[in-house]
Amino acid sequence: MMVESASETIRTTTSNQNGVSNLSSQLDGGGGREGGSNGDNNGEISPVDLLHLQQQQALQAARQFLLQQASGLNSPSSNEVKQSPVQVPMSMAMLTPQMISPQQMQQILSPPQLQALLQQQQALMLQQVTHTHTHSFLGSAPAQHQQIGNKQLAFQQQLIQMQQLQQQHMINLQRQGLVSLQPTNPMQSLQQAMCPGDLQQLWKEVSGVQSAEEALKQQHTGEGLDLSTNSTSTSFPKANTHSSLHSLHNGQDNHTPKRDRARLFEWISSFSKADLGDEHLTPYSKGGPLSSSHHEEHAGSHPLYGHGECKWPGCEALCDDMGQFIKHLNNEHALDDRSTAQCRVQMQVVQQLEIQLAKESERLQAMMTHLHMRPSEPKPFNQPLNLASSGSLLKRESEVYPEGLPHPPTSATAPITPLRQGPSVISSSSLHSHSHPHGVGPIRRRIADKFCTPIASELAQNCEFYKNADVRPPFTYASLIRHAILEAPDRQLTLNEIYNWFTRMFAYFRRNTATWKNAVRHNLSLHKCFVRVENVKGAVWTVDEVEYQKRRPPKMTGSPTLVKNMISGLGFGSLNASYQAALAESSLTLLNSQGLVNPSSAASLNMLHGMGHDDVSSTVEQVNSNGSCSPTLSPQQYGHQVHVKEEPTEIEEDSRSMSLMATVTQNMALPSDRDDRDLDDELPTEELE
DNA sequence: GGTATAATAAACAGAA
DNA sequence: TTTCTGTTTATTATAC
């Protein structure tokens, strides 16, 4: 029961804001395990402090610049970056965020450059706000209003981009262990990245601009808000504001006519609460605009009310009590164009952050996968990836992951699946195939076998991950069943015990019970390598290693194509040929130091590189578990009734040579702690792969 | 396009 | 009768 609730918790990681704190918790836990990866900043100014200091300095400079402008420097030509303390090309500072993603920006720019860019953008934002203000009050021609609307659009786009960029930068710092991780939500992330006061200030600027425009409009037309009026060529900035924000979301400037309230409401409601989280749409989506009957308002708390002030973006109105706040909310933030526009901006912010979160979650899993590997195994990740030859999943991931970054052994579902999925995270649900009942399509099914993933090694490295994350393990049912059975003390399990192993080891299998249990039974019956043995306490299942080795493994003959495929398999954080080579290399070193190996055995180890990884791991596991040289564990030794099955498609292949490996391995000391067997018992033997 | 492999679904039967 | 266990068949997807 506890495990199920735990998996439920994990599953929410990318679906709402709560996931952020969950993710942070995981990060904290992971950081603790890794021990010391966060660095030691005690007694000195931490990088994050420096970052904040720089941001404050930039903002301070921007404020001074604003003051100068307000005191008479109204010339637009003065709005140049030469005021900026850091020299980053203006074209870069202004255009890049809209042209390329923040991730790409970070790859292109060094951290100092990135920081400089952030500062420039912040200063520029404030400058734009000032100019917008200035033009709003000084100019009244429609053309100027049009310009204001465009500036607002540009401003808000850049604001979001800047927020993204800063958040990404913070995450990068966190990833580098330079910043301690804190439970946060998207808005907190923005505030954390920007400096809360300045973010709020920027929001106020947006609101202020719109308020000023509304005032102007009312002055010119002598009428109040008329939401039903279509915008014309002489439309007021308010209409532009609307369309700008609308196009902000659509990614195009289509200058749509004003929507009436119903359409605004419809548009907002089109965002499912599942995507955006309850709190974002609650005021609108439940019973109309900011209804005072909202349940949270009656409950004495409101997400938009805290510390005696209104938390509406850009609004810091002081409200003594909830009643006053509700009154303020209904009066000042009713469903009108401005509120809708602000809501849209907020939606956009949330959506961007959620996308970012999904990506970062996947990146986290890739990092965890990487960090679980020993320091002596960096080779695979130094090799160029050839993802183009991989399947569609890898192609998708190649779009997500920067080149050279190890991909998680996927899954997301992301929700992670987000992957959703691995470790396959992809637990990010966003990466899960929606057409598949399990959320994980067949694409992923054979990943383990295709890339020859060593199940023992993978499980050892990501044991905790699979136990907690709702991520489908990248192994076939057969390999999982076999692993479960071989892991058992007497190398035999009842069906129910196999079920229990699945649910114990993988959060993913704590759901979809009917499906995967059926699959387990199906595999047990189908594959000849699984032998049913009846004893006094009922039927148990064992593994016939000979039969298992007969299963046609992925061909790894060393041809360029296969090697390329293996390299492409790198994307899963699973072991590939290079990794195996590194493992063998390090193992040989170890064995040589123990005088247990000779050149011929080294050749044998190298030969293993051409084997399917499952085969390799099975060999090692078997030897390891048996503790003897016997290459197989014949079920006949049980002396019970045995049901021999026929493998559907059996191609006889030479059994891989394993005697030498067995000879070597049996001499190696094995940890005795069974509780840690996943991590300790298998690793030494896996190193021989 | 054929083949192999794996996942999934489902039907069915026998035992507990 | 229900549930569990085990077998079998069919379909689909993917990789080669």
Rounded CA-CA distance A140/A210 in Å is 14
CB of A437 nearer than 7 A to strand B: yes
CB of A522 nearer than 7 A to strand B: yes
Rounded CA-CA distance A412/A432 in Å is 5
pLDDT band at A404 (very low <50, low <70, confident <90, very high): very low
Q: Name the burial class of residue A557, with classes exposed (0-12), middle (13-18) and buried (19+) by CB atoms within 10 angstroms of its CB.
A: exposed
CB of A640 nearer than 7 A to strand C: no
The mean pLDDT of A570-590, rounded to a whole number, is 34
CB of A438 nearer than 7 A to strand B: yes
Q: Is the dihedral of CA A245, A248, A249, A250 positive or negative?
A: positive
Q: Compute and round to an integer the Cα radius of gyration of chain A.
A: 30
CB of A634 nearer than 7 A to strand C: no
Q: Could you give the C-alpha distances from A310 to A189, A314, A454, A681, A683, in angstroms and in order?
A: 19, 9, 55, 57, 56
Rounded CA-CA distance A444/A476 in Å is 10
Helix, strand and coil in chain A, % to nearest 5: 60, 5, 35
Model confidence pLDDT, tens digit, residues A298-355: 445 677 887 777 777 777 778 888 888 888 888 888 777 777 777 777 777 777 777 7
Per-residue pLDDT at A297 exceeds 80: no
CA angle A464, A484, A459 (to 5 degrees): 30
Model confidence pLDDT, tens digit, residues A210-226: 443 444 344 443 333 33
* A470/A587: higher pLDDT: A470
What pairs with residue A414 in β-bridges?
Answer: A429
Residue-level pLDDT at A342: 77
Question: Do the Cβ atoms of A465 and A368 come closer than 8 Å?
Answer: yes
Rounded CA-CA distance A395/A516 in Å is 27
Strand C bases, protein C-beta under 7 A? 4-10, 12-16
pLDDT band at A161 (very low <50, low <70, confident <90, very high): low
Rounded CA-CA distance A96/A377 in Å is 36
Per-residue pLDDT at A64 exceeds 90: no
Give the list of residues 6+ apart from residue A215 with CB closer than 8 angstroms, or none.
none
Torsion region of A35: left, alpha or beta (phi above 0 gives left; psi -120 to 50 gives alpha): left
The mean pLDDT of A567-573, rounded to a whole number, is 33
Is pTM beyond 0.75? Reply is no
CA angle A571, A560, A547 (to 5 degrees): 75
Question: Do the Cβ atoms of A353 and A167 come closer than 8 Å?
Answer: yes
Task: State, as a whole number of angstroms, the distance between the CA of A356 and the C1' of C16.
Answer: 36
Rounded CA-CA distance A619/A671 in Å is 18
Rounded CA-CA distance A227/A219 in Å is 16
Q: Is the dihedral of CA A326, A332, A333, A335 positive or negative?
A: positive
* A239/A159: higher pLDDT: A159
Residue-level pLDDT at A463: 82
Give the list of residues 6+ apart from residue A199 with CB closer than 8 angstroms, or none.
A163, A190, A191
Amino acid at A510: R
CB of A496 nearer than 7 A to strand C: yes
3-class secondary structure, A429: strand
For the beta carbon of residue A68, count every other beta carbon within 10 angstroms. Answer: 13
pLDDT band at A150 (very low <50, low <70, confident <90, very high): low
CB of A507 nearer than 7 A to strand C: no
Counted residue by residue, chain A has a size of: 689
Model confidence pLDDT, tens digit, residues A406-459: 333 333 333 333 333 333 333 333 333 333 333 333 333 344 333 344 677 777
Q: Name the burial class of residue A408, with classes exposed (0-12), middle (13-18) and buried (19+) by CB atoms within 10 angstroms of its CB.
A: buried
* A157/A595: higher pLDDT: A157
Strand B bases, protein C-beta under 7 A? 4-11
Which of A 618-677 have CB under 7 A of nucleic chain B?
Answer: 649, 651
Q: What is the mean pLDDT of chain A?
A: 48
pLDDT band at A548 (very low <50, low <70, confident <90, very high): confident
Task: State, as a whole number of angstroms, the distance between the CA of A514 and the C1' of C9.
Answer: 18
The mean pLDDT of A262-267, rounded to a whole number, is 43
Per-residue pLDDT at A648 exceeds 70: no
Per-residue pLDDT at A121 exceeds 90: no
Rounded CA-CA distance A608/A141 in Å is 78
Rounded CA-CA distance A563/A415 in Å is 32
Q: Which residue is nearest to nucleotide B10 (CA to C1')?
A: A518
Question: Do the Cβ atoms of A256 and A149 come closer than 8 Å?
Answer: no
Rounded CA-CA distance A166/A185 in Å is 14
Residue A144 is encoded by which pair of tokens? 């100027």
CB of A438 nearer than 7 A to strand C: no
Residue-level pLDDT at A372: 54
Task: State, as a whole number of angstroms, the distance between the CA of A314 and the C1' of C15.
Answer: 55
Q: Is the dihedral of CA A19, A21, A26, A27 positive or negative?
A: positive
Rounded CA-CA distance A203/A346 in Å is 10
Task: State, as a whole number of angstroms, the distance between the CA of A398 and the C1' of C15.
Answer: 19
Question: Do the Cβ atoms of A237 and A133 come closer than 8 Å?
Answer: no
Rounded CA-CA distance A465/A410 in Å is 12
pLDDT band at A358 (very low <50, low <70, confident <90, very high): confident
Which of A 523-542 have CB under 7 A of nucleic chain B?
Answer: 523
A515-534: string of b/e by CB count within 10 Å (b at 16+)?
Answer: ebbebbeebbebbbbbbbbe
CB of A526 nearer than 7 A to strand C: yes
Element (H, E) at A472: none
CB of A607 nearer than 7 A to strand C: no
> Could you identify the residue written with the tokens 């059926």?
A518
CB of A441 nearer than 7 A to strand C: yes
The mean pLDDT of A252-278, rounded to a whole number, is 38
Torsion angle in degrees (nearest 10) through CA of A394, A400, A402, A408: -60
Task: State, as a whole number of angstroms, the distance between the CA of A525 and the C1' of B12.
Answer: 15
Task: State, as a whole number of angstroms, the distance between the CA of A528 and the C1' of C8.
Answer: 14
For the beta carbon of residue A52, count every other beta carbon within 10 angstroms. Answer: 15
CB of A124 nearer than 7 A to strand B: no
Task: State, as a whole number of angstroms, the distance between the CA of A391 and the C1' of B2.
Answer: 20
Rounded CA-CA distance A241/A238 in Å is 5
CB of A42 nearer than 7 A to strand C: no
Q: Which of A508, A440, A443, A523 is nearest to A478 (CA)?
A: A523
Which of A 457-496 have CB under 7 A of nucleic chain B?
Answer: 475-478
* A136/A518: higher pLDDT: A518
The mean pLDDT of A612-639, rounded to a whole number, is 36
Task: State, as a whole number of angstroms, the distance between the CA of A628 and the C1' of C7.
Answer: 34
